[in-house]
Amino acid sequence: MIERLRVVMMFEIIAFHMFGSLPLLDGLGLTTFLTLSIAFSVASAEKHGLRTVAIRKLHRIGVPWLFWWGVYAAFFTLLAMHRREPVGDVFKPLMVLYGPSLHLWFCPFIILAGMAAAGFHRWYRGNTSFLKVGLTLSIALVCLAVMSSEALIGRHNFRDLPEPFWQWYFSGPSLPLGLATGQILLLSRKNPRWMDAFALIVALIGGTSVAFLGVEHLFRRYMVSLAVIAVAFAIGRRFTAGDRLTSFASPMMLGVYMVHVIFGYLLFNPLHEHDLLYTTGAFVSSLVTIALLQRTRFRPLV
């Protein structure tokens, strides 16, 4: 169920980049991916240690990020030349923190956030208990509530921060929420009922946030994402059968994320007036491209 969720949420992320939020999903893709990635880093650190987690993160995300940094630098340089625009406008001083395309900010952030959450878990773990998970979740909710304050965001003009600092601020709550999710995932391996209890608690909080907060509210988006993740874990252990489409597509979602912006540009003129067709075209084109690249020496980069 989690792998199916990843595919659906990647489609939502592409839709968000192409034209805006899809109905019902309301921009949940990014918050879902952030929280899941950090949760799996925590679970991996429990078994393999922080050093292994760091090496895997750098290999799986860091190396592809550097590769696609170069690809997008070349792509936007050629695009500027085609449009007869100044090539120098492609490069900005802060690009070194994310890349020539803004969506690449996700890569360095998730490497650092995953390592930070994994390191914190290893530092204070002992034996993971529901009390520790409850404490972590409580701290996470307080952090999320504070960072979601529209008064705080507006007073300091966080939305006007230069790229990628607003993206980093927006993603900050995923660290404690991912830490709590990773801990409950470890605990549920001993007793699956803990995940059921976690799903019920966060679903109640998420449902309340839906009733009282706007679609774009940071607290609402994270809590609905967390509820969806917890419910997917809880349901997944009851319905474990996989399917070929998910098995084929899910391992390629990082590569799809990396390349989809290129197809967003290439398909803009023929499809941009048809939102779902435009999104589907970018998603399928990216999926096919990554599937082909995985059959070549570029496999480690996608």
Mean per-residue pLDDT of the chain: 90
pLDDT tens digit sequence for 76-110: 999 999 888 888 888 888 888 899 999 999 999 99
CA–CA separation, 34 vs 95, rounded Å? 21
Supply the pLDDT for residue 128.
Answer: 63
Which band of pLDDT confidence, cut at 50, 70 and 90, is reported for residue 178?
Answer: very high
CA distances from 244 to 4, 30, 247, 290 (A): 11, 25, 5, 17
Domain ranges across the chain: 2-301
Token pair belonging to 97 = 């923190």
Region label for 162, one of left (φ > 0), alpha (ψ between -120 and 50) or beta (otherwise): beta
**Cβ–Cβ < 8 Å for 224, 259:** no
pLDDT tens digit sequence for 115-155: 999 998 888 765 567 778 888 889 999 999 999 988 788 88
pLDDT tens digit sequence for 3-60: 999 999 999 999 999 988 777 777 799 999 999 999 999 999 888 888 888 999 999 9
